[in-house]
Structure 1
Amino acid sequence: MAEAARKRRGRSDDQRSGDRLFDRELDHLPPEARWREWMHRVEATIFAASEPVGREALARIVGKSCSIDLLIDDIREELRGRPYDLVAVAGGFRHLTRPAYADAIRAAIGQGESAGSLSEFEVLVVTAIAYFQPITRGELSSFFGKDVSRDLIGHLRGAKLIASGPRSPTPGAPYTYVTTKEFLLEFGLGTLRDLPDLESLEDAGLLSKEKLLAGQIMPEIATE
């Protein structure tokens, strides 16, 4: 136990030493140059990361008084007119290409199993899962008035847009399904709270809340 405590102290000492070696504050620089260097650090970190980078991680590379949000705003302003942007998504920040260039990117390098390869009905199913998760395949079938097949669920899982949730407390304890972090990335959402409310979808003519509650989502598609 004493040895474990010494190792923990050693790791803590190493971390503190690393913090001292890495100059977050940059007090030797004039304010404008300091802000510019913080911008470069943040942009480089987000560019290099394979996943969205959260505020907590970014706070480790800038001064304690630095506002991450203001820094991000300045970076985005500099990216105005570029074919990519810095976007808040899936709980962090990530560089994403602008939608206007999606066709060019697909023509050049194609695309894998993703939201762009989904049918209209599959998009409706993953949207229903997002709003009503955790939800079973049987409940989805009831909503749409047609069978939501295992193959369709498998396609959504293959695209990493959904995953298995907890077992349902209903008879037979079927699996439920929930959306994933990849879903947030694909649809450009910071969190599930960014989903448009049902009233907005209804006003746009995309979804009828009345039909939804009656188990009749988009009957013209459900009967295809």
Structure 2
Amino acid sequence: MARDRDDEPLDRELAELPPELRWREWMRRIEAVLFASAAPVGREDLARVVGPQAPVDLLIEDLAAELEGRAFELARVGAGWVLRTRTAYASAIRAAQARRDAPPELRMDDAAVLAAIAYHQPITRDELGEIFGRDISRELIGRLHDRGFIGTGPRAPRRGAPYTYVTTEAFLLAFDLVSLQDLPDVEALRDAGFADPGMMGQGGA
């Protein structure tokens, strides 16, 4: 019985190919991995599909340059890369999906707590309550967790060792950030009225 090609080990070296074709095949492999992934893919994972001496960063640069003028782009998110549609085509995508069920927008309470987590992480639920002057419900935290925007961080170094919360790569991706260093300046947010704990209101959390 013939062996399934999917069971064969991946030829990373591609020694039989001339350098130019080898380089292009490595680029295509990286493109395929990014295309198939809904989450950012890190350098170590991309390195598994190319030769051990292949410069992943240069391959990514060449792939990004090749995608210039296309409707989608290669973008850095956190410690990895993704393929995503360019913002110029966001309205076209929304128009095409108008009849589909869109994910619910963040409630104002949720957005305010998410912002606090982003700026103060790792942070406990009690510490969030201190920021907003009232208890932050587990239901609210659960909504943010279910959307994939937050995850659990290290235990707080105090009695009871409560869980802390941190943002995720999904948060960076959703808000078009490369890293947390790209978060808007707090003063700018405050001037715009988005950093005021009073935004939380008195109910719904």
Give the TM-score, by structure 2 length.
0.73
Question: Could you tell me which amino acid in structure 1 is paired with residue 102 of structure 2?
Answer: Q
2:16 partner amino acid: H
Higher helix share: 1
Name 1:111's counterpart in structure 2. 102
Q: Larger radius of gyration, structure 1 or 2? A: 1
Aligned to 1:142: 130
1:126 CA drift (Å): 1.1
Cα distance in 2, alignment partners of residues 142 and 176 from structure 1: 14
Give the one of 40, 52, 66 matched to 1:78.
Answer: 66
Q: Figure out how many residues of one structure are paired with residues of the other and give that number.
A: 190
Give, in angstroms, the shift of residue 168 of structure 1: 4.4
**Per-residue deviation, 1:160:** 1.9
CA distance in 2, matches of 1:66, 1:201: 38
Contact 2:30–2:49, Cα closer than 8 Å, also in 1: yes
Q: Which runs of 4+ in 1 moved over 6 A?
A: none
CA contact (8 A) 1:146 1:223 kept: no
CA displacement at 1:188 relative to structure 2: 3.9
**1:197 Cα deviation from its structure 2 partner:** 7.2
**Percent of aligned positions with the same letter in both sequences?**
51
Equivalent of 1:31 in 19, 30, 40: 19
Distance change in 2, residues 1:64/1:158 (3 Å): closer
Amino acid corresponding to residue 140 of structure 1 in structure 2: L
Once the two structures are overlaid, the 10-residue window that deviates more, 63-72 or 99-108, is 99-108
Q: Which amino acid aligns with 2:189?
A: L
Structure 2: tracts of 5 or more residues without a match: 1-7
Which aligned pairs between 1:140-219 and structure 2 lie closer than 5 A? Answer: 140-165=128-153, 168=156, 174-190=162-178, 194-196=179-181, 201-202=185-186, 205-207=188-190, 217-219=195-197
Letter in 2 for 1:119: R
**Contact 1:146/1:222 (<8 A) preserved:** no
In 2: Cα distance, 1:151 partner to 1:112 partner: 18
Pair 1:47-2:43 in alignment: no
Q: 1:52·1:94 contact (CA, 8 Å) conserved in 2?
A: yes
Q: 2:41 is paired with a residue of what secondary structure? A: coil
CA contact under 8 A between 2:172 and 2:180: conserved in structure 1? no
Gaps of 5+ in 1: 1-17, 209-216
How far the C-alpha of 1:172 sits from its partner, in A, is: 6.4
1:169 deviates by: 5.3
Q: Is the 8 A contact 1:38 1:62 kept in 2?
A: yes
- Alpha-carbon distance in 1 for matches of 2:129, 2:200: 9
The Cα of 1:44 is off from its aligned counterpart by 1.3
